[in-house]
Structure 1
Amino acid sequence: MTVLFECSYDHQRYVGFGVPQDGAPLRLHPLGGADLRVLLHRSGGDESALRDALAAAGPALDVPAADLPLVRMRPPLLPDHVGDALVSGFMMTHHVKAGPEVPDQPNWFFKGLGNVLRVPGLPLSVPGDAVAVTEEAEVVLVYVDDEEGESHYAGYTFGNDLTDIGRFKQHAGHLSYAKLCDTAVAPWLHLGAPPRSVTGAVTVERDGAPAWKGSFTTGTDALHYDLDTMMRRLFAYESLHHPGRTHYVYIGADRSSFHGGFRLEDGDRVTLDFASHGVTVSNPLVWKGTQ
């Protein structure tokens, strides 16, 4: 399966292929001012066609290991204007969370615009008056609206839908507030169909030492709902569509540290190891605003 990423280096935008290994040199392909979303759409997701299109912008560049700290990864297909990105998701989608009375479509929530997306390493902020915050290891679907505003599936990645679950537990109507935390997203865009099975583990570090560990299972096989039906019903709302918009849709999580009786705190580092797919998402947490 083709995996690609977009980054900036030496004030230029580049595309790379594969999930880079820690400390290994990077081979980058210049974008030359092109929009990767457009190139992907024109190539139909074919790696050879995409590489040919990138070759027209210039020769590939090899970044030595010593210069890797100068490379800045970007969320997959993030528009230049963060207002052109819409981050949202579904809740209570997994079999393990389905109750006795299950609606025919799970609740949908708005998480923010493109500025709430944080790649691994960057801090995730939550309101200072958060009640009980928890991580949520999730598959993230990426869609791009064409010039007519029609949404096209581009691929998937992984992320941490950080949530003030305590606020939601206090009042179910406050889900919209509970979801207004930053969210982590891996830079690596997988061009295939959404994965059926994803397994991994969560590690929370506090003061430099492991404070909580747990496992998770996600993917389409873990969903109580049919994913195609979920997305078709969501995108039936024309108000979501706009030419050039990128959609990041979090499709729900397994149990989390909250369900294990643990409470995240300011300064904790949360690491999600999506081991089945060789992807790690690790971010420190920061409480901001009124305490």
Structure 2
Amino acid sequence: MSIIFECEYQGRRYAGHGLPVPGSPLTLYPVADGQLRAALVAGHGPEDLGSAVAGDDGRIEVDPGDAGLRFLPPLLPTGSNNALINGFMGTHRTKFDRAPEPDEEFTPPNYYIKGFGSWLRLPGEPLTTPADPVWLLEEPEVVLVYANDDQGVPHYAGYTFGNDLNDIGLHLKNPWAWTPYAKLCETSITPWLFLDSPPEQVTGTVTIEREGAAAWQGGFSCGADSLFHRVPDMAEYLFSHPLLRRPGLVNYLFLGADKATYHDGFRIENGDRMVLDVSSHGVVLANEVRYGTTAPE
């Protein structure tokens, strides 16, 4: 499958193909802010994004470990910040006491808005939480990426993976009112955009590292085959709302997560490192938990 990414290097924005290979240089192509979004909405689908990352003019090679190289969330409009982090809750089959019927009428799952696209963090960056969380929960999820054209029509760009860190303990104290507060933890995302349909099967392992050693480990699945709801139904319903069809908006849509550390009785603490190994797709997303500071008096 085709994969593209965007990054910044020495003050310029670049794009490239594939996942980094240790010991092999990355070939980078200069792009402007919004150039790939424009290629997507002008073409016929994700495949047009891949062909837009090419050419010899300004092409460079960079070591993946170069300290000056910084990856970006897929298609993030850094100039305008016209991007939204949002998603669904309670979408997995394990959270229902039955299987969906093949022709079952669609009932929208719960939904949340997390924040602006510029709030996203990348692999290796710490994720800040409230100063005194009740009980943190990591959430490995598939993230669909959409970009709206100048008329507000959403165009599917591909998918990536994210960790919707949140305070499930606070949420459970008052599920009908405090969920927005529980979501006020930073979220991470991988920069690799898979130019394909939303994945049917996604599997991997979560490891929580504490003081350099594994303190908890468990498997996860978050592909469409693990969901109770149908992905096309969720996306169609969401984009029926005009406010999400703002011209130029880039939308990072999280599809929900299965049970994880909290459901096993494990508490994530300040300084823990969450390692999400999406082994089915060769991607690792690792971030340290960092409690925020209290508000100044």
Structure-2 residue corresponding to 1:61: 60
Structure-2 residue corresponding to 1:166: 169
- Percent identical pairs in the alignment equals 44
2:188 aligned with 1:190: no
Structure-2 residue corresponding to 1:19: 19
Question: How far off is 1:81 after superposition?
Answer: 3.8
Structure-2 residue corresponding to 1:84: 82
SS in 1 for 2:66: helix
The residue identity in structure 2 corresponding to 1:172 is P
- CA 1:244–1:209: 2 relative to 1, 3 Å: same
- CA 1:69–1:168: 2 relative to 1, 3 Å: same
2:261 aligned with 1:257: yes
SS in 2 for 1:230: helix
* Maintained 8 Å contact 1:116/1:182: yes
1:110-129 to structure 2, matched below 5 A, reads 110-129=113-132
Structure-1 residue corresponding to 2:158: 155
SS in 2 for 1:252: coil
Question: How far off is 1:54 after superposition?
Answer: 3.8
- In the aligned structure 1, how far is the partner of 2:288 from the partner of 2:10? 26
**Which 5+ residue runs of structure 2 have no aligned equivalent?**
101-105
Q: How many residues align?
A: 289
- In the aligned structure 2, how far is the partner of 1:117 from the partner of 1:192? 22
- In the aligned structure 1, how far is the partner of 2:48 from the partner of 2:234? 32
- In the aligned structure 2, how far is the partner of 1:44 from the partner of 1:26? 27
* Maintained 8 Å contact 1:31/1:54: no
What whole-Å deviation, never above 9, does each CA across 1:104-144 have from its counterpart, x for those lacking one?
21100011111221010111011112110010000000000
Structure-2 residue corresponding to 1:74: 72
What whole-Å deviation, never above 9, does each CA across 1:200-232 have from its counterpart, x for those lacking one?
000111111111111001100111011111111
Q: TM-score, normalised by structure 1?
A: 0.93
Structure-2 residue corresponding to 1:203: 207
- In the aligned structure 1, how far is the partner of 2:49 from the partner of 2:196? 16
2:205 aligned with 1:230: no
Question: How far off is 1:60 after superposition?
Answer: 2.1
- In the aligned structure 2, how far is the partner of 1:104 from the partner of 1:215? 28
What whole-Å deviation, never above 9, does each CA across 1:253-276 have from its counterpart, x for those lacking one?
111111111000111110000000
SS in 1 for 2:67: helix
The residue identity in structure 2 corresponding to 1:10 is Q
- In the aligned structure 2, how far is the partner of 1:263 from the partner of 1:46? 39
Question: How far off is 1:45 after superposition?
Answer: 4.2
What whole-Å deviation, never above 9, does each CA across 1:51-78 have from its counterpart, x for those lacking one?
466427x14211146x622210000000
SS in 2 for 1:270: strand
- CA 1:162–1:248: 2 relative to 1, 3 Å: same
2:244 aligned with 1:240: yes
What whole-Å deviation, never above 9, does each CA across 1:135-156 have from its counterpart, x for those lacking one?
0000000000100111111110
- CA 1:157–1:210: 2 relative to 1, 3 Å: same
SS in 2 for 1:68: coil
Question: How far off is 1:289 after superposition?
Answer: 2.4
Structure-2 residue corresponding to 1:5: 5
- In the aligned structure 2, how far is the partner of 1:255 from the partner of 1:82? 36
CA RMSD of aligned residues (A): 2.2
Q: TM-score, normalised by structure 2?
A: 0.91
SS in 2 for 1:6: strand
* Maintained 8 Å contact 2:41/2:148: no
* Maintained 8 Å contact 1:40/1:50: no
- More displaced 10-residue stretch of structure 1: 80-89 or 156-165: 80-89
- In the aligned structure 2, how far is the partner of 1:233 from the partner of 1:211? 40
What whole-Å deviation, never above 9, does each CA across 1:82-103 have from its counterpart, x for those lacking one?
6411100101100011257x98
- CA 1:270–1:50: 2 relative to 1, 3 Å: closer
- CA 1:24–1:45: 2 relative to 1, 3 Å: farther
- In the aligned structure 1, how far is the partner of 2:151 from the partner of 2:48? 27
The residue identity in structure 2 corresponding to 1:260 is D
2:83 aligned with 1:94: no
